[in-house]
Structure 1
Amino acid sequence: MISRLLAALAPLAVAACATVPATVSGYGPLPEDPHAAVPALRPASVVAPYQHRVPVEPGNWRNLNDRQAPGGGAS
């Protein structure tokens, strides 16, 4: 029984190994294409979003919580 099942599934396994050309698969142009577009490289700074912050004394947490509450503590 198992051998018949394996014999029936063998063509499906072989068909799954078939390759698809790169132009059909949608992954872009072929690597050997000399006219393929290449995106320009831009330098990116690794420290651009840095902001210097200094330690501060803890404040009143209830006032901070009230300011961040919906309505902005307008009560």
Structure 2
Amino acid sequence: MSDFSARESEITTSMSDFSARASEIKTNMSDFSAGESEITTSMSDFSARASEITTSMSDFNAGRAELRRT
């Protein structure tokens, strides 16, 4: 019986280790989600900048057309 109790204690410890590990994985997933959010925000910033560049090019082309007319 003492072997059984010792073994049961090992299993309980292993389950505790597993729970701690599962908690670490959840924390890492949270970190990943936060990182993913940062990447999405950066992509939004990039899209906004790309839109500004496109607008600038349109302004540039419009200015060029005006110069040709004068």
Compute the TM-score of the two structures, normalised by the length of structure 2.
Answer: 0.32
Normalized per residue, the structure richer in helix is: 2
Compute the TM-score of the two structures, normalised by the length of structure 1.
Answer: 0.31
Larger relative contact order (C-alpha < 8 A, sep ≥ 6)?
1
